[in-house]
Each structure stands twice: as C-alpha cells, then as structure tokens.
Structure 1
Amino acid sequence: MCFEPLNVLPMYLNQLEIRGLLDKGFDDFVDYINTLPDIRFTAALNGQWSAGQQLEHLVKSIRPICNVMAYPKLTLLYFGTSPLPSRSYDELSTNYRALLGNGCKSIKIWKPGITYPGQRVVLLSALLSLRIKLLDRLKRWTESDLDKYRLPHPLMGKLTIRETLYSIIYHTQHHLGKMQDQEPVGQSWENQLQQLIF
C-alpha cells in the first residue's frame, strides 16, 4: 500500500516558546553590548550604525509594541481582526529578510541619533525594562487573542500580535548579527578607524 506524505504546515510558536526566544534574544544582545569597549560602542564605520545606535533603535522600535500590549483589547479593534491564522516564525522571518534584502529601511521615528559611551547604561536599562514589561504583558494574552488582534508594522503591513512578537525576536537577532558582522578581522578597531580617517 502506498501512502502519500501529509502536507504538514509549520506550527506557530506558543506563548512559552515566544517567551523563551524573547528572553534569549534580549540576553544575547545585552551580553554582546556589555563586551564592547567604548570606542566599539560609539564608532560607526562604513555608513553602518554603531552598536550604540543599534541598541537605541531596538529601544525605540520595541517601546510602542510594549505599550500597546497593555491597552484594553477593545481599542485594538481599530486595526481590525485577522481573517487568517498567524504565519509561522519561519515564514515571517523569511518575509522580513526579503524586505530588508530589497532595500527597506527603518522608519524615521525609529532611527537612532549619535550615541555616546555615557548612554550605554541608560539604553541598556531601557531595553531591560521593556523586556520585563513585554514578558509581563504577554501573560495577559490568550493564545487565541494573539492570533485575533493585529497591529500595523511599518514594513510588513498588519501583523497579528503573535507575528508582531515574532518580528521582535527576528529584529533583535538581525541587529545583533549586524554588530557581529562589523567585528574587525585580524586588526583592532583603532587600526580600522585610522585607516578610515587617514
């Protein structure tokens, strides 16, 4: 007897899995920032954002989502409810990567300014505070509500709350990767800066 393979759709991440990935993403990002010397935290080479700017951008982009998750759900009906189930994390991250690959950039209000060494503690404190609030507010959401309510995303259109949380996970990993890609290979940051200046 011949059996045809089942078409298994990728499952979405449940709350517990989302919480775990958010926690890990924030931990990895903060741990990496804490390893950097001041010059590495503030230096922006080759038109890329500095590590401090990456951190400020994350704070600016996560804060509104964290705030909205505390609103009464009735107010979120303004954005409508989702007629479709949430996409999987893999599907959302693939779509996000494609948009970035096509040259989509951050919106103006989320773009960072120049960052200074003295801002590191303040920005890290803000990010860690957002993490606590976000994870606390997530507890108040049922699995079905995560798929029902939507929020606008500046690049991807309307996302369910579950997809919005996926976007935070992916976005945090993306910016950690951007910082890691800027690490000098075989030379110090001071040498790289000298080559850039002279």
Structure 2
Amino acid sequence: MYLNQHEIKSLLNKSFDNFVDFVNTLPDIRFTASPYGKWSAGQQLDHLTKSIRPISSALGFPKVTLRYFGISQRPSRSFDQLVTDYQRVLNGGFKTTRAYMPGVIYPSQRPALLQNFLLQKNKLTVKLLGWSEKDLDKYRLPHPLLGKITVREMLYYIAHHNEHHLAKLKDQELQGYTWQNQLQQLIF
C-alpha cells in the first residue's frame, strides 16, 4: 500500500495517539517497571522520542543539505514492503544502537516524556506540509537498520515503529497478571 502525504499524516497521528492513549492508562508501577528484562513503557517512550527527534529535525533542513545522503534512484517501497523488510532485519537479531537506548525512567518523568513525544509528532506533521509528493520519494535519510531510505519510507517507519512498541507494551500487559508481576509489584 503506497500512501500519499495526507494518508501518511493520518497514519502518523494515529500511531502517536494510540501509543499515548495506552501509556496514559498505565499506573506508575507499570509505566516504570521493566518486566522480564524488557523495557518499561517509560523507556519505550524515551526510545521512540530519541529515534524520532533526528528525523523531525532533518525534515526542516534545506533540501540541498539532504543531498548529502544521496538522491533515490528507485521508487519508495510501499508501507507493507517497508514493514516486511524491517521485520526481517529485526528477526536477524539486531538491537538498537546506543544513541537510542533509554535510560532509567521515573514516574515523575511521564508528563515531560509524553510532552516531548507529542512535540515530535507536531514537528513531523507540520514539516511534512513543506514536502511535495515528488520530494518524499527523491530525498533519503539514513536508518541504522535499513540504510538510506526515502523520506516517505522513513515516515512509514516512524508510524510502524510506534505501533511495534505499542504491541510490545500490550503484550507485556497481557502477561501482567503472572506471579512474577505480582511479586514485582510487592517489591516496588
């Protein structure tokens, strides 16, 4: 499925809003606890914000500067193809790079983390307005897993990445009623 600018904006809004809505339902213990050695909801929120910030900044650069990453010689992949390619790389065992690793998160950080996450959403959607459909397919940005991908593909990636981490959180919550979770809640 190839998405135009309006559809991308809608997809981005939905992915950000779904993540925020879910995080807002979590009590502080579930926001900060790292169950089963996985990232907590707060850490996932921090990771997403760190990974989106350079992209939202790059969208505001003069397009001539983005030529540094080269001009795409092929059409953008569809959303579905990008997701398939990303999942294949993840299944190969790749882990996030240090720059995007979250730190320890405390309950008091939730409002600021949510505000920063939504700020990145607003930056992306506003800056997207300055891009033509042609330029979304012409200019490329570097991705640590996928290499240099078109701006359109990068926007697809952001929406999918948000949903990917939301799915992880929901899965953790489904496991939230095990004895390990109950013990964890007693300890904290």
Q: TM-score range by the shorter chain?
A: over 0.9
Shift of 1:46: 1.4
Q: CA deviation at 1:47?
A: 1.4
SS of the residue 2:173 aligns to: coil
- After TM superposition, give the deviation of residue 125 of structure 1 in Å: 0.2
Once the two structures are TM-superposed, the CA of residue 187 in structure 1 deviates from its matched residue by 2.3
Match of 1:7 in 2: none
Aligned to 2:184: 193
Aligned to 2:102: 112
Cα separation, 1, equivalents of 2:176 and 2:121: 35
User: Structure 2: how far apart are the matches of 1:140 and 1:187?
Assistant: 47
Normalised by the length of structure 1, the TM-score is 0.90
Q: Does 1:173 align with 2:163?
A: yes
Aligned in 2, Cα 1:98/1:179: closer, same or farther, shift over 3 Å? same
Find out whether 1:139 has 2:153 as its counterpart. no
Contact 2:141 2:150 in 1 (8 A): yes
Counterpart Cα distance in 1 of 2:176 and 2:36:
18
1:183–1:130 Cα change, 3 Å: same
Residues 116 and 72 (structure 1 numbering): CA distance in 2 closer, same or farther, change over 3 Å? same
Gaps of 5+ in 1: 1-10
Alignment match, 1:19: 9
User: Could you list the runs of 4 or more consecutive aligned residues of structure 1 that deviate by over 2 angstroms after TM superposition?
Assistant: 184-190
Offset, 1:184: 4.1
* Partner deviation per Cα, 1:26-82 (whole Å, 9 max, x = no partner): 010000000000000000011100000000000000000000000000000001100
2:59 aligned with 1:69, yes or no? yes
The AA in structure 1 aligned to 2:39 is W
TM-score where L is the length of structure 2: 0.95
Q: State the distance in 2 between where 1:185 and 1:70 align.
A: 41
State the structure with more CA Rg.
Answer: 1
Q: How far apart in 1 are the matches of 2:73 and 2:176?
A: 52
Greater share of helix: 2
CA RMSD of aligned residues (A): 1.6
44, 50, 61: which one aligns with 1:54: 44
Which residue of structure 2 aligns with residue 86 of structure 1?
76
The answer (yes or no) to whether the contact 1:184–1:192 under 8 Å persists in 2 is no
Stretches of structure 2 that go unaligned for 5 or more consecutive residues are none
**In the alignment, does 2:38 pair up with 1:37?**
no
Q: Report how many residues are paired.
A: 186
Tell me the CA shift for residue 16 of structure 1.
Answer: 0.6
